[in-house]
Protein backbone atom coordinates (compact mmCIF):
# COMPACT_ATOMS: atom_id res chain seq x y z
CA UNK A 1 0.00 0.00 0.00
CA UNK A 2 1.32 3.45 -0.97
CA UNK A 3 1.06 6.16 1.75
CA UNK A 4 -0.63 8.62 -0.61
CA UNK A 5 -4.12 9.96 -1.25
CA UNK A 6 -4.61 10.97 -4.87
CA UNK A 7 -6.99 13.18 -6.82
CA UNK A 8 -8.64 12.24 -10.11
CA UNK A 9 -8.82 13.96 -13.49
CA UNK A 10 -12.53 13.86 -14.24
CA UNK A 11 -16.00 12.43 -13.77
CA UNK A 12 -14.90 8.82 -14.20
CA UNK A 13 -11.69 6.84 -14.01
CA UNK A 14 -9.65 6.71 -17.17
CA UNK A 15 -8.06 3.43 -18.18
CA UNK A 16 -4.66 4.92 -17.39
CA UNK A 17 -5.75 5.97 -13.91
CA UNK A 18 -7.35 2.60 -13.20
CA UNK A 19 -4.21 0.70 -14.18
CA UNK A 20 -1.97 3.04 -12.18
CA UNK A 21 -4.09 2.96 -9.02
CA UNK A 22 -4.49 -0.81 -9.18
CA UNK A 23 -0.71 -1.19 -9.41
CA UNK A 24 0.37 1.28 -6.70
CA UNK A 25 -2.57 0.76 -4.26
CA UNK A 26 -2.81 4.23 -2.69
CA UNK A 27 -4.34 4.63 0.76
CA UNK A 28 -7.22 6.58 -0.72
CA UNK A 29 -8.61 9.29 -2.99
CA UNK A 30 -10.01 12.82 -2.74
CA UNK A 31 -12.83 14.30 -4.83
CA UNK A 32 -13.21 17.85 -6.11
CA UNK A 33 -15.75 19.77 -8.16
CA UNK A 34 -14.26 18.47 -11.41
CA UNK A 35 -15.21 14.94 -10.28
CA UNK A 36 -18.81 15.81 -9.44
CA UNK A 37 -21.81 16.06 -11.76
CA UNK A 38 -24.76 14.16 -10.30
CA UNK A 39 -25.60 11.73 -7.52
CA UNK A 40 -25.60 8.62 -9.75
CA UNK A 41 -22.30 9.69 -11.33
CA UNK A 42 -20.52 10.26 -7.99
CA UNK A 43 -21.84 6.97 -6.59
CA UNK A 44 -20.61 5.14 -9.69
CA UNK A 45 -17.21 6.84 -9.42
CA UNK A 46 -16.68 5.88 -5.77
CA UNK A 47 -17.79 2.31 -6.53
CA UNK A 48 -15.21 2.13 -9.31
CA UNK A 49 -12.50 3.36 -6.92
CA UNK A 50 -13.30 0.61 -4.43
CA UNK A 51 -13.44 -1.97 -7.21
CA UNK A 52 -10.08 -0.80 -8.60
CA UNK A 53 -8.32 -1.25 -5.26
CA UNK A 54 -10.25 -4.39 -4.37
CA UNK A 55 -11.08 -2.98 -0.93
CA UNK A 56 -14.54 -2.09 0.35
CA UNK A 57 -13.36 0.19 3.13
CA UNK A 58 -11.37 2.65 0.99
CA UNK A 59 -10.71 6.16 2.31
CA UNK A 60 -12.55 8.38 -0.19
CA UNK A 61 -12.25 11.99 0.93
CA UNK A 62 -14.00 15.27 0.20
CA UNK A 63 -13.88 18.82 1.58
CA UNK A 64 -17.47 19.35 2.69
CA UNK A 65 -17.33 21.68 5.69
CA UNK A 66 -20.44 23.73 4.93
CA UNK A 67 -20.52 27.39 3.98
CA UNK A 68 -17.95 28.41 1.36
CA UNK A 69 -16.03 25.13 1.48
CA UNK A 70 -18.37 22.64 -0.14
CA UNK A 71 -17.59 20.49 -3.18
CA UNK A 72 -21.18 19.21 -3.37
CA UNK A 73 -23.31 22.15 -4.46
CA UNK A 74 -26.95 23.00 -5.15
CA UNK A 75 -29.15 22.15 -6.90
CA UNK A 76 -28.21 18.48 -6.56
CA UNK A 77 -27.21 18.73 -2.90
CA UNK A 78 -28.46 20.74 0.07
CA UNK A 79 -26.42 23.64 1.38
CA UNK A 80 -25.06 23.46 4.92
CA UNK A 81 -24.22 26.47 7.09
CA UNK A 82 -20.66 27.52 7.98
CA UNK A 83 -19.17 26.65 11.36
CA UNK A 84 -19.44 30.27 12.54
CA UNK A 85 -23.23 29.98 12.58
CA UNK A 86 -23.03 27.32 15.29
CA UNK A 87 -20.58 29.45 17.26
CA UNK A 88 -23.12 32.28 17.16
CA UNK A 89 -25.80 29.87 18.39
CA UNK A 90 -23.51 28.92 21.30
CA UNK A 91 -23.78 32.50 22.61
CA UNK A 92 -27.51 31.96 23.11
CA UNK A 93 -27.55 28.35 24.34
CA UNK A 94 -24.47 26.15 24.47
CA UNK A 95 -26.23 22.80 24.70
CA UNK A 96 -28.64 23.64 21.89
CA UNK A 97 -25.69 24.71 19.72
CA UNK A 98 -23.97 21.39 20.39
CA UNK A 99 -27.15 19.51 19.41
CA UNK A 100 -27.57 21.59 16.25
CA UNK A 101 -23.95 20.97 15.26
CA UNK A 102 -24.26 17.22 15.70
CA UNK A 103 -27.55 17.13 13.77
CA UNK A 104 -25.99 19.19 10.97
CA UNK A 105 -22.95 16.99 10.54
CA UNK A 106 -24.94 13.78 10.80
CA UNK A 107 -27.19 15.01 7.99
CA UNK A 108 -24.13 16.10 6.00
CA UNK A 109 -22.50 12.74 6.65
CA UNK A 110 -25.55 10.86 5.41
CA UNK A 111 -25.28 12.77 2.14
CA UNK A 112 -21.66 11.67 1.79
CA UNK A 113 -22.27 8.08 2.83
CA UNK A 114 -25.03 7.71 0.24
CA UNK A 115 -22.46 8.64 -2.42
CA UNK A 116 -19.84 6.18 -1.17
CA UNK A 117 -17.68 8.96 0.35
CA UNK A 118 -16.18 7.72 3.61
CA UNK A 119 -14.07 10.63 4.93
CA UNK A 120 -14.91 14.32 5.34
CA UNK A 121 -12.06 16.83 5.73
CA UNK A 122 -13.81 18.55 8.63
CA UNK A 123 -14.06 19.94 11.29
CA UNK A 124 -11.80 22.99 11.30
CA UNK A 125 -10.32 23.49 14.79
CA UNK A 126 -8.29 26.61 13.99
CA UNK A 127 -8.69 29.74 16.17
CA UNK A 128 -8.77 32.87 13.98
CA UNK A 129 -6.77 35.75 15.43
CA UNK A 130 -7.19 39.48 14.87
CA UNK A 131 -5.10 40.58 11.90
CA UNK A 132 -4.85 37.08 10.42
CA UNK A 133 -5.76 36.22 6.84
CA UNK A 134 -9.46 35.41 6.37
CA UNK A 135 -8.76 32.03 4.74
CA UNK A 136 -10.18 30.49 7.94
CA UNK A 137 -12.74 33.13 8.91
CA UNK A 138 -16.25 31.71 9.22
CA UNK A 139 -14.94 28.19 8.70
CA UNK A 140 -14.01 28.24 12.42
CA UNK A 141 -16.33 27.52 15.33
CA UNK A 142 -15.65 30.96 16.78
CA UNK A 143 -12.65 32.25 18.72
CA UNK A 144 -12.89 30.50 22.08
CA UNK A 145 -10.77 27.31 22.34
CA UNK A 146 -13.32 25.59 24.56
CA UNK A 147 -16.23 26.39 22.25
CA UNK A 148 -14.26 25.22 19.21
CA UNK A 149 -13.39 21.97 20.98
CA UNK A 150 -16.98 21.31 22.10
CA UNK A 151 -18.53 22.05 18.71
CA UNK A 152 -15.71 20.23 16.93
CA UNK A 153 -16.49 17.15 19.03
CA UNK A 154 -20.16 17.43 18.10
CA UNK A 155 -19.20 17.61 14.41
CA UNK A 156 -17.02 14.50 14.68
CA UNK A 157 -19.79 12.67 16.53
CA UNK A 158 -22.36 13.64 13.92
CA UNK A 159 -20.21 12.42 11.06
CA UNK A 160 -19.49 9.18 12.90
CA UNK A 161 -23.20 8.55 13.44
CA UNK A 162 -23.57 8.71 9.66
CA UNK A 163 -20.69 6.29 9.12
CA UNK A 164 -18.20 8.94 7.95
CA UNK A 165 -14.70 9.61 9.34
CA UNK A 166 -13.88 13.21 10.30
CA UNK A 167 -10.50 14.91 9.86
CA UNK A 168 -9.46 17.62 12.33
CA UNK A 169 -7.53 20.43 10.67
CA UNK A 170 -5.19 22.25 10.32
CA UNK A 171 -3.02 20.81 13.06
CA UNK A 172 -1.29 22.43 15.01
CA UNK A 173 -3.28 25.56 14.07
CA UNK A 174 -3.84 27.86 11.09
CA UNK A 175 -5.54 30.75 12.87
CA UNK A 176 -2.51 33.06 13.15
CA UNK A 177 -1.46 32.86 9.50
CA UNK A 178 -1.29 36.28 7.83
CA UNK A 179 -1.17 34.67 4.38
CA UNK A 180 -3.22 32.02 2.58
CA UNK A 181 -1.12 28.86 2.40
CA UNK A 182 -2.77 28.03 -0.92
CA UNK A 183 -0.66 30.84 -2.36
CA UNK A 184 2.16 31.69 0.06
CA UNK A 185 4.04 30.16 3.01
CA UNK A 186 2.76 31.80 6.20
CA UNK A 187 5.36 32.46 8.91
CA UNK A 188 3.95 32.63 12.42
CA UNK A 189 6.10 34.58 14.89
CA UNK A 190 3.98 33.90 17.98
CA UNK A 191 5.66 32.80 21.18
CA UNK A 192 5.43 29.34 22.74
CA UNK A 193 2.90 30.69 25.24
CA UNK A 194 0.72 32.17 22.51
CA UNK A 195 0.86 28.99 20.43
CA UNK A 196 -0.28 26.95 23.44
CA UNK A 197 -3.70 28.55 23.01
CA UNK A 198 -3.88 27.33 19.40
CA UNK A 199 -3.15 23.76 20.49
CA UNK A 200 -6.03 23.56 22.97
CA UNK A 201 -8.83 22.42 20.61
CA UNK A 202 -6.55 19.84 18.99
CA UNK A 203 -5.49 18.53 22.39
CA UNK A 204 -9.14 18.22 23.45
CA UNK A 205 -9.84 16.18 20.28
CA UNK A 206 -6.55 14.29 20.19
CA UNK A 207 -8.48 11.03 19.91
CA UNK A 208 -9.85 12.02 16.49
CA UNK A 209 -9.31 9.33 13.84
CA UNK A 210 -7.53 11.58 11.31
CA UNK A 211 -5.82 14.97 11.21
CA UNK A 212 -4.45 17.24 8.46
CA UNK A 213 -1.29 19.29 8.87
CA UNK A 214 -0.86 23.02 8.29
CA UNK A 215 1.60 24.29 5.68
CA UNK A 216 2.75 26.94 8.15
CA UNK A 217 6.19 27.75 9.56
CA UNK A 218 6.10 28.33 13.32
CA UNK A 219 9.30 30.15 14.23
CA UNK A 220 9.07 29.20 17.90
CA UNK A 221 9.24 25.50 16.98
CA UNK A 222 11.15 25.21 13.70
CA UNK A 223 12.66 28.20 11.89
CA UNK A 224 13.46 26.25 8.73
CA UNK A 225 10.47 23.98 7.97
CA UNK A 226 6.70 24.30 7.89
CA UNK A 227 4.74 21.86 10.06
CA UNK A 228 4.11 19.41 7.21
CA UNK A 229 7.84 19.02 6.60
CA UNK A 230 9.05 19.40 10.19
CA UNK A 231 9.96 16.29 12.16
CA UNK A 232 10.23 18.54 15.23
CA UNK A 233 6.67 19.84 14.94
CA UNK A 234 5.22 16.44 14.06
CA UNK A 235 7.08 14.52 16.76
CA UNK A 236 7.32 17.05 19.60
CA UNK A 237 4.15 19.09 19.11
CA UNK A 238 1.57 16.97 17.27
CA UNK A 239 2.41 13.53 18.57
CA UNK A 240 3.79 14.34 22.04
CA UNK A 241 2.34 17.65 23.29
CA UNK A 242 -1.05 17.39 21.61
CA UNK A 243 -1.08 13.61 21.99
CA UNK A 244 -2.56 12.87 18.58
CA UNK A 245 -1.98 9.24 17.59
CA UNK A 246 -4.36 8.87 14.65
CA UNK A 247 -3.66 8.99 10.92
CA UNK A 248 -1.77 12.20 10.10
CA UNK A 249 -2.09 13.42 6.52
CA UNK A 250 -0.40 16.36 4.87
CA UNK A 251 -2.39 19.19 3.39
CA UNK A 252 -2.27 19.27 -0.42
CA UNK A 253 1.31 19.09 -1.70
CA UNK A 254 0.39 21.31 -4.67
CA UNK A 255 -0.30 24.34 -2.49
CA UNK A 256 2.06 27.24 -3.15
CA UNK A 257 3.22 27.37 0.47
CA UNK A 258 5.51 24.48 -0.49
CA UNK A 259 8.33 24.96 -2.93
CA UNK A 260 9.93 22.27 -5.03
CA UNK A 261 9.25 19.06 -6.88
CA UNK A 262 6.00 17.43 -5.74
CA UNK A 263 7.42 13.87 -5.46
CA UNK A 264 10.36 15.22 -3.45
CA UNK A 265 7.95 17.10 -1.16
CA UNK A 266 5.99 13.87 -0.68
CA UNK A 267 9.12 12.03 0.37
CA UNK A 268 10.07 14.86 2.75
CA UNK A 269 6.61 14.87 4.37
CA UNK A 270 6.73 11.12 4.96
CA UNK A 271 10.26 11.38 6.33
CA UNK A 272 9.16 14.16 8.67
CA UNK A 273 6.49 11.90 10.14
CA UNK A 274 3.27 12.25 8.12
CA UNK A 275 1.49 8.91 7.69
CA UNK A 276 0.13 9.79 4.26
CA UNK A 277 0.54 12.61 1.73
CA UNK A 278 -2.31 14.37 -0.02
CA UNK A 279 -1.88 15.11 -3.75
CA UNK A 280 -5.12 16.53 -5.04
CA UNK A 281 -4.93 17.46 -8.69
CA UNK A 282 -4.80 14.15 -10.53
CA UNK A 283 -1.59 15.01 -12.39
CA UNK A 284 -0.33 11.65 -13.61
CA UNK A 285 3.31 12.74 -13.86
CA UNK A 286 3.32 13.89 -10.23
CA UNK A 287 1.44 10.82 -9.04
CA UNK A 288 3.82 8.48 -10.81
CA UNK A 289 6.75 10.38 -9.32
CA UNK A 290 5.25 10.04 -5.84
CA UNK A 291 4.75 6.31 -6.35
CA UNK A 292 8.40 5.98 -7.37
CA UNK A 293 9.73 8.03 -4.44
CA UNK A 294 7.67 6.76 -1.52
CA UNK A 295 8.29 3.55 0.39
CA UNK A 296 5.53 1.08 1.17
CA UNK A 297 3.28 2.12 4.04
CA UNK A 298 4.65 0.88 7.36
CA UNK A 299 2.67 -1.35 9.70
CA UNK A 300 2.05 1.70 11.91
CA UNK A 301 0.64 3.68 9.00
CA UNK A 302 -1.58 0.77 7.98
CA UNK A 303 -2.78 0.29 11.55
CA UNK A 304 -3.67 3.98 11.88
CA UNK A 305 -5.59 3.87 8.60
CA UNK A 306 -7.43 0.69 9.60
CA UNK A 307 -8.27 2.10 13.04
CA UNK A 308 -9.55 5.35 11.55
CA UNK A 309 -11.77 3.62 9.01
CA UNK A 310 -13.01 1.17 11.64
CA UNK A 311 -13.88 3.99 14.05
CA UNK A 312 -17.24 4.48 12.34
CA UNK A 313 -19.80 1.95 11.26
CA UNK A 314 -20.97 2.34 7.68
CA UNK A 315 -24.76 2.42 7.48
CA UNK A 316 -26.62 -0.03 5.28
CA UNK A 317 -28.44 1.66 2.41
CA UNK A 318 -32.18 1.65 2.88
CA UNK A 319 -35.24 3.57 1.82
CA UNK A 320 -35.34 5.62 5.04
CA UNK A 321 -31.95 7.32 4.56
CA UNK A 322 -33.35 10.41 2.85
CA UNK A 323 -36.18 10.68 5.37
CA UNK A 324 -33.72 10.50 8.24
CA UNK A 325 -31.57 13.24 6.70
CA UNK A 326 -34.56 15.53 6.16
CA UNK A 327 -35.65 15.01 9.76
CA UNK A 328 -32.16 15.84 11.05
CA UNK A 329 -32.00 19.03 8.98
CA UNK A 330 -35.48 20.06 10.10
CA UNK A 331 -34.50 19.59 13.75
CA UNK A 332 -31.26 21.54 13.16
CA UNK A 333 -33.12 24.41 11.52
CA UNK A 334 -35.70 24.52 14.31
CA UNK A 335 -32.93 24.83 16.90
CA UNK A 336 -31.07 27.52 14.97
CA UNK A 337 -34.24 29.50 14.28
CA UNK A 338 -35.23 29.41 17.95
CA UNK A 339 -31.78 30.66 18.96
CA UNK A 340 -30.98 33.13 16.17
CA UNK A 341 -34.37 34.06 14.75
CA UNK A 342 -33.25 33.11 11.22
CA UNK A 343 -33.16 30.19 8.85
CA UNK A 344 -30.58 27.44 9.28
Residue count of the chain: 344
DSSP secondary structure letter of residue 77: S
Angle CA 18–20–21, to nearest 5: 65
The verdict on whether 182 is a catalytic residue reads: yes
Burial class (CB in 10 A: 0-12, 13-18, 19+), 48: middle
Q: Residue 33, by phi and psi: left (phi above 0), alpha (psi -120 to 50) or beta?
A: alpha
Give me the DSSP letters along 21-41: HHHH-EEEEEE-GGG-S-HHH
Find residue 251's DSSP bridge partners. none
Please name the residues in contact with 106: beta carbons below 8 A apart, sequence gap of 6 or more.
158, 159, 161, 162, 328
Q: Residue 17, by phi and psi: left (phi above 0), alpha (psi -120 to 50) or beta?
A: alpha
- Rounded to whole angstroms, the Cα distance separating 281 from 284 reads 9
Out of 120, 126, 198, 251, pick the active-site residue.
251
Angle CA 137–39–73, to nearest 5: 25
- Cβ atoms 43, 115 nearer than 8 A: yes
Out of 19, 56, 76, 182, pick the active-site residue.
182
- Rounded to whole angstroms, the Cα distance separating 274 from 217 reads 16
The verdict on whether 170 is a catalytic residue reads: no
Q: Which residues are catalytic?
A: 182, 251
Amino acid sequence: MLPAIFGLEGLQLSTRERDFFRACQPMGFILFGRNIESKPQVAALTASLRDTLGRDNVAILIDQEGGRVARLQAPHWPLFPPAAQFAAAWERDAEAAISATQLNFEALGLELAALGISVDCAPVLDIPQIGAHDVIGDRAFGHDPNVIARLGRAALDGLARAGVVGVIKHIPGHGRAVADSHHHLPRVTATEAQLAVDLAPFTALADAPMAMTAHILYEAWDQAHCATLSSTVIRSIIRERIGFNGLLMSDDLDMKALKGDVPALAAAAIQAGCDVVLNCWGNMVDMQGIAERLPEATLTMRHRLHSAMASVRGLAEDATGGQRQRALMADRDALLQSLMGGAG
